């Protein structure tokens, strides 16, 4: 799942996943509240990976991360922060709140594809 | 005087003579026996004719040793040289008597202090036939007197010294101009006052008798600061304090004061000394430093925000442009994709241009109030409405502007401020926007959601209200932070700088901005300018 208010970034993210494996299913949410609706639905969505943008309207990435951490059925999901900014304090804070890693949005599709492959390989090889 | 027997002429006469003789004898005897006075009979030349026991006792000469000698033998050489004995006789001769006190000499050469009265004796014709000289030894009294005099002189000298010292001390305190030195009684009433006090506090001697709390601000008096300081000095010996004090003309100065309790020998409190130094200049310098430090801190924060801009908001379009370029390269043969992503590149570039413009606008905001003029907010609103004429028509918007005041400010900045607020109101209202602009004068207590550090004074409040989508109350502060967007960029275009710019403009005008709203219920933006009714 990708939670990001930027539709360009949603599109780029989908393209990168397509390049890795066209079988990967990705649910998009434009903000934290919309994402939580889906994650807390009667038939809840249980993604393997959740990527959260930092700078979002209504509920910022950090608040969204905290809410997701409260959900029992998502205990096994790997949650990543996914943002343009690379502020040290934000990185530390998100990791302290339970994010697996803080991924800085790379300048290019190939770079993003490569980054995501690394993430999946690493998590798969645990 | 002879006491030879007179032959009797008759019984009566004999009796009379006998009575006279006895009387003279008694008289003689009396004189002879007097011990405390030397009683001497001198002839007209000052030669000793007679001598009594007192004379012998006081002057140590026996009668036989002095009879026939000049009475000057009792005088000191310097007195003789000075002709004192002759002078005394002359005075007695001319005035009937002469009195004198002075040192005289005994037989053995020792001195005694004699009090002398010489009386001229006359015969029936009035011619001087001799002198009686009565001398009293007043040595003991003289010594006691001398000692007394000496002690008195010593005391007088000491007293003079003390007086001089006290005068010098008083003078010194009185003349000191850099320190206000005041003497207070135990209740804090002013007893004494120096030149420094007059200079620093502006009062002259009319202040004596008043309580020293007149130097304190109404607020300090209300919280009983003067009493607290006296109490502290009473129990601890002294009290120090730094703070604003009030001069006679009502102006204030920053005083450093030391109040010291004064005690008498028994330890009882007799009052206080209060030394005040005017440290206004030092305080102002310190305040300027603090203000400068704050200013630097603010600028630093702004720089940090700029750093964040470059790291985030300016990178974002660049990152996208690079990504879109890559996608175009991969899909060179697909004109639809190429055209779509060229369009996206264009939009990113445009967004970047807008961002750079906004950041520049923000950083170019001049500081300080040197360029402040009287600005008629009604004129500003007319201009802003003209600028948005097309958008207002397009959105079928209504803009209602009440009568607004004239304020001191920067014309260009104020136009930018209201332009941003009106633009915001129009932007976040989807159908038939109604934007209301009205103003009133308010006291600090009437301001809802006022920031903590707001100065107590009257403000001009300008409300910009809309009937738009509003926002969650918890974001009321956050919206004024740079690049904080509450809405999806897709639905509401914007750089995230507009309200941050508004906040900065208002702070340049020593005011502040607040907002309140609820989702779907419109938003109210309150702008506060200090009420400085401008000179026309």
A12 touches B at CB < 8 Å: yes
Nearest by CB to A109, which of B308, B323, B487?
B323
pLDDT at A90: 84
Q: Distance, in angstroms, between B527 CA and closest chain A CA?
A: 24
Sign of CA dihedral B72, B74, B79, B85: negative
Q: Which residues contact B112 (CB under 8 A, 6 or more apart)?
A: B58, B103, B104, B106, B137, B139
Nearest by CB to A8, which of B312, B318, B344?
B344
B interface mutation test: which of A15, A16, A58, A89 has the most B CBs within 10 A?
A: A58
Q: What is the mean pLDDT of residues B134-138?
A: 90
Asked if A6 and B327 come within 8 Å (Cβ–Cβ), the reply is: no
| Model confidence pLDDT, tens digit, residues B308-324 | 666 667 788 889 999 99
Distance in angstroms (rounded) separating the CA atoms of residues B529 and B512: 7
* Residue found under tokens 């130094």: B277
Q: CATH classification of A2-120, choosing from 3.30.590.10, 3.40.50.2300, 3.65.10.10, 3.50.50.60?
A: 3.40.50.2300
| Cβ B103 vs Cβ B75: under 8 Å | no
Q: Given pLDDT bands bounded at 50, 70 and 90, which one contains residue B489? A: low
Q: Rounded to 5 degrees, what are φ and ψ at B422?
A: -70, -40
Nearest by CB to B326, which of A57, A87, A108?
A108
Residue B536 has pLDDT above 50, yes or no: no
- More confident of the two residues B510 and B472: B510
Q: Given pLDDT bands bounded at 50, 70 and 90, which one contains residue B1? A: very low
CA neighbor of B412 nearest in space, from B456, B447, B380? B380
Q: Which residues contact B178 (CB under 8 A, 6 or more apart)?
A: B196, B277, B278
pLDDT at A125: 58
Q: Which residue of A has its CA nearest to B473?
A: A58
- More confident of the two residues B393 and A122: B393
Q: How far is CA B37 from the centre of its chain?
A: 72
B532 touches A at CB < 8 Å: no
Distance in angstroms (rounded) separating the CA atoms of residues B254 and B284: 9
| Cβ B71 vs Cβ B86: under 8 Å | no
Residue B472 has pLDDT above 90, yes or no: no
Distance in angstroms (rounded) separating the CA atoms of residues B175 and A71: 81
Mapping DSSP onto H, E and C, the string for B392-445 reads HHHCCCEEEECCCCEEEECHHHHHHHHHHHHHHHHHCCCCCCEEEEEEEEEEHH
Nearest by CB to A108, which of B315, B323, B490?
B323
Asked if A8 and B311 come within 8 Å (Cβ–Cβ), the reply is: no
Please state the domain extents for chain A.
2-120
Distance in angstroms (rounded) separating the CA atoms of residues B399 and B387: 13
**What's the whole-number average pLDDT of chain B?**
85
pLDDT at B223: 92
Distance in angstroms (rounded) separating the CA atoms of residues B100 and B90: 13
| Cβ A44 vs Cβ A73: under 8 Å | yes
Distance in angstroms (rounded) separating the CA atoms of residues B79 and B497: 116
pLDDT at B75: 94
Distance in angstroms (rounded) separating the CA atoms of residues B55 and B71: 12
Asked if B486 and A84 come within 8 Å (Cβ–Cβ), the reply is: no
Name the β-bridge partners of B184. B190, B272
| Model confidence pLDDT, tens digit, residues B149-173 | 888 888 888 888 888 888 887 777 7
B residues 57..116 contacting A (CB < 8 A): none
Chain A CB contacts of B319 under 8 Å are 84, 105-107
The answer to whether the pTM exceeds 0.90 is no
Nearest by CB to B311, which of A30, A86, A107?
A86
Distance in angstroms (rounded) separating the CA atoms of residues B452 and B370: 27
Q: Distance, in angstroms, between B302 CA and closest chain A CA?
A: 16
A residues 26..45 contacting B (CB < 8 A): 30-31
Residue B535 has pLDDT above 60, yes or no: no
| Cβ B121 vs Cβ B79: under 8 Å | no
| Cβ B526 vs Cβ B506: under 8 Å | no
Give me B16's structure tokens.
């009379």
Distance in angstroms (rounded) separating the CA atoms of residues B267 and B425: 75
Q: What is the mean pLDDT of residues A118-122?
A: 86
Dump the DSSP string for B488-500: -TTTS---S-HHH
Q: In terms of DSSP bridges, do strands B252-263 and B269-278 run parallel, antiparallel, or are they unpaired?
A: antiparallel
Residue B413 has pLDDT above 80, yes or no: yes
Q: Rounded to 5 degrees, what are φ and ψ at B279?
A: -110, 25
- More confident of the two residues B516 and B2: B516
A85 touches B at CB < 8 Å: yes
**Contact pairs from chain A to chain B, CB under 8 Å:** 51
Mapping DSSP onto H, E and C, the string for chain A reads CEECCCHHHHHHHHHHHHHHCCCCCCCEECCHHHHHHHHCCCCCCCCCEEEECCCCCCCCHHHHHHHHHCCHHHCCCEEEEEECCCCHHHHHHHHHCCCCEEEECCCCHHHHHHHHHHHHHHHHCC
Nearest by CB to A84, which of B316, B322, B486?
B316
Mapping DSSP onto H, E and C, the string for B260-308 reads EEEECCCCCEEEEEEEEEECHHHHHHHHHHHHHHHHHHHHHHHHHHHHH
Burial class (CB in 10 A: 0-12, 13-18, 19+), B243: middle
Q: Which domains does chain B have, with CATH numbers?
A: 34-137 (3.30.450.20), 176-278 (3.30.450.20), 367-536 (3.30.565.10)
Asked if A87 and B311 come within 8 Å (Cβ–Cβ), the reply is: yes
Asked if B323 and A107 come within 8 Å (Cβ–Cβ), the reply is: yes
- More confident of the two residues A22 and B463: B463
Name the β-bridge partners of B134. B39, B117
Q: Which residue of A has its CA nearest to B341?
A: A8
| Model confidence pLDDT, tens digit, residues B49-67 | 988 888 898 999 998 999 9
Chain B CB contacts of A85 under 8 Å are 308, 311-312
| Model confidence pLDDT, tens digit, residues A57-75 | 778 888 999 999 999 888 8
B326 touches A at CB < 8 Å: yes
> What is the strand order of the sheet B111-122 is part of?
B48-50, B37-43, B128-137, B111-122, B97-105
Give pairs for B332-337: CB < 8 Å, separation 24+. none
- B132: region left, alpha or beta (phi > 0 left; psi from -120 to 50 alpha): beta
B503 touches A at CB < 8 Å: no
Asked if A84 and B312 come within 8 Å (Cβ–Cβ), the reply is: yes
């Amino acid at each position: 799942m990708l939670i990001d208010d930027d539709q360009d970034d949603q599109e780029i993210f989908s393209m990168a996943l397509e390049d890795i494996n066209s079988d990967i299913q990705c649910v998009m949410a434009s903000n934290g509240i919309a994402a939580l609706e889906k994650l807390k639905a009667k038939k809840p969505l249980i993604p393997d990976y959740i990527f959260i943008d930092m700078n979002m309207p209504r509920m910022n990435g950090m608040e969204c991360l905290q809410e997701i951490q409260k959900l029992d059925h998502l205990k096994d999901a790997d949650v990543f922060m996914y943002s343009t900014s690379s502020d040290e304090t934000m990185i530390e804070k998100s990791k302290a709140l339970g994010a697996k890693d803080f991924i800085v949005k790379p300048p290019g599709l190939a770079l993003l594809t490569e980054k995501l492959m690394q993430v999946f390989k690493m998590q798969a090889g645990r | 005087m002879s006491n030879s027997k007179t032959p009797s002429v008759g019984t009566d006469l004999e009796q009379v003579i006998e009575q006279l003789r006895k009387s003279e004898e008694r008289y003689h005897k009396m004189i002879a026996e007097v011990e405390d006075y030397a009683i001497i009979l001198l002839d007209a030349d000052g030669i000793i004719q007679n001598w009594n026991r007192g004379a012998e006792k006081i002057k140590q000469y026996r009668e036989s040793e002095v009879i026939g000698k000049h009475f000057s033998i009792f005088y000191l050489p310097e007195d003789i040289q000075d002709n004192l004995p002759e002078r005394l006789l002359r005075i007695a001769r001319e005035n009937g008597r002469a009195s004198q006190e002075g040192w005289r000499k005994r037989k053995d050469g020792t001195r005694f202090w004699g009090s002398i009265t010489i009386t001229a004796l006359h015969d029936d014709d009035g011619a001087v036939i001799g002198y009686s000289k009565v001398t009293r030894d007043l040595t003991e009294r003289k010594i006691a007197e001398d000692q007394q005099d000496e002690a008195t002189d010593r005391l007088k000298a000491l007293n003079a010294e003390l007086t001089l010292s006290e005068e010098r001390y008083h003078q010194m305190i009185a003349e000191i101009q850099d320190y206000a030195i005041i003497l207070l009684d135990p209740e804090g009433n002013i007893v004494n006052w120096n030149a420094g006090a007059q200079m620093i506090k502006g009062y002259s001697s009319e202040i004596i008798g008043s309580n020293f709390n007149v130097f304190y601000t109404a607020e300090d008096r209300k919280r009983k600061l003067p009493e607290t300081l006296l109490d502290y000095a009473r129990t601890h010996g002294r009290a120090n304090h730094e703070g604003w004090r009030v001069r006679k003309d009502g102006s204030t100065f920053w005083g450093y004061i030391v109040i010291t309790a004064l005690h008498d020998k028994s330890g009882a409190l007799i009052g206080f000394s209060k030394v005040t130094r005017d440290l206004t200049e030092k305080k102002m310098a310190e305040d300027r430093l603090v203000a400068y430090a704050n200013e630097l801190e603010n600028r630093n924060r702004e720089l940090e925000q700029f750093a964040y801009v470059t790291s985030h908001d300016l990178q974002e379009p660049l990152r996208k442009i690079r990504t879109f370029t890559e996608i175009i390269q991969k899909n060179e043969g697909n004109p639809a994709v190429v055209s779509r992503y060229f369009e996206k590149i264009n939009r990113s570039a445009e967004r970047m241009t807008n961002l750079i413009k906004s950041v520049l606008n923000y950083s170019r905001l001049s500081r300080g109030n040197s360029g402040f003029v009287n600005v008629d907010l009604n004129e500003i609103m007319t201009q802003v409405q003209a600028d948005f004429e097309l958008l207002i028509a397009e959105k079928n918007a209504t803009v209602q502007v009440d009568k607004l005041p004239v304020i001191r400010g920067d014309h260009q900045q104020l136009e930018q401020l209201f332009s941003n607020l009106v633009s915001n109101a129009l932007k976040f209202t989807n159908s038939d926007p109604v934007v209301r602009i009205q103003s009133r004068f308010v006291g600090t207590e009437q301001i809802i959601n006022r920031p903590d550090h707001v100065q107590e004074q009257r403000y001009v409040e300008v409300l910009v209200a809309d009937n738009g989508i509003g926002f969650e109350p918890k974001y009321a502060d956050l919206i004024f932070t740079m690049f904080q967007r509450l809405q999806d960029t897709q639905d509401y275009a914007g750089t995230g700088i507009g309200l941050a710019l508004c906040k900065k403009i208002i702070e340049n005008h020593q005011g502040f901005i607040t907002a309140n709203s609820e989702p779907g219920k419109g938003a109210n933006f309150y702008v506060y300018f200090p009420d400085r009714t401008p000179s026309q």
